């Protein structure tokens, strides 16, 4: 016969095992940031997504009616101005029945680049990245993360 103490201990262990399994949040994409000063008045901000095998994120240029595209928003600042749009490499493309269209996406990793004009020698560039990550059978809810890059 089990003692009450042992029953409580077994129950507590089962509870933690169940809670631990459900509390695991999937994060198939990790983001990193870098910058390179081109001159005293210009720099390039690099935003890199590293994507786990089997997963993908979408291009910034997905047409309306498609999946949630990657959107990089730079916070307004008096210290710098964006030069042009945020560049990305040529995405892979496939027809997705769900959206009835060809959709551009990235696997493994992708680096987005934004040229900026500096109004002072050093600044911090901040903003947000909205993205959706999918695998062959499902998509995780769209996520939004903040970024910050020191330009010196």
Q: Give residue-wise pLDDT tens across range 18-30.
A: 444 444 578 899 9
**At residue 98, does pLDDT exceed 90?**
no
Number of domains in the chain: 1
- Asked whether residue 69 is assigned to any structural domain, the reply reads yes
Is the residue at 11 inside a domain? no
Cα separation, 69 vs 63, in Å, equals 8
Interval 85-107 mean pLDDT:
95
Residues 93-103, mean pLDDT to the nearest whole number:
91
**CATH code of the domain containing 38:** 2.60.40.1250
140, 115, 99, 105: which is closest to 41 by C-alpha? 115
Angle in degrees, CA 148, 108, 70, rounded to 5: 50
Q: What is the pLDDT of residue 41?
A: 94
pLDDT at 144: 97
Q: Is residue 5, in this structure, part of any structural domain at all?
A: no
* Any domain includes 20: no
Tokens representing residue 60 in the block:
């910034």
Q: Containing domain of residue 130, as a range?
A: 27-151
Give the pLDDT confidence score for residue 105 in this predicted structure.
Answer: 98
Give the C-alpha distances (Å, rounded to integers) separating 5 from 19, 24, 94: 21, 29, 58
pTM of the model: 0.82
DSSP secondary structure of 59-77: -TTPPTTSSPPPEEEEPP-
In a domain, 9, yes or no: no
Give residue 97's pLDDT. 86
**φ, ψ at 52 (rounded to 5°):** -65, 150
- Over the stretch 31-69, which tens digit does the pLDDT of each residue have? 999 999 999 999 999 999 999 999 999 999 999 999 999
Return the closest-CA partner of residue 95 out of 67, 125, 55, 54. 67
Q: What are phi and psi of 14, to 5 degrees?
A: -65, -40
């Amino acid at each position: 016969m089990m003692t009450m103490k042992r029953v409580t201990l077994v129950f507590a262990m089962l509870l933690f095992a169940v809670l631990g399994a459900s509390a695991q949040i999937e994060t198939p994409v990790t983001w990193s940031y870098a910058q390179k000063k081109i001159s005293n008045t210009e720099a390039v901000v690099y935003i890199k997504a590293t994507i786990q095998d089997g997963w993908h994120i979408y291009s910034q240029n997905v047409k309306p009616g498609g999946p949630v595209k990657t959107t990089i928003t730079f916070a307004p600042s008096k210290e710098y101005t964006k030069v042009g749009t945020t560049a990305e490499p040529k995405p892979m493309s496939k027809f997705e029945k769900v959206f009835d269209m060809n959709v551009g996406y990235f696997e493994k990793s992708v680096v987005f680049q934004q040229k900026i004009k500096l109004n002072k020698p050093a600044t911090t560039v901040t903003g947000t990245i909205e993205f959706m990550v999918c695998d062959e059978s499902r998509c995780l809810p769209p996520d939004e993360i903040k970024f910050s890059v020191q330009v010196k």
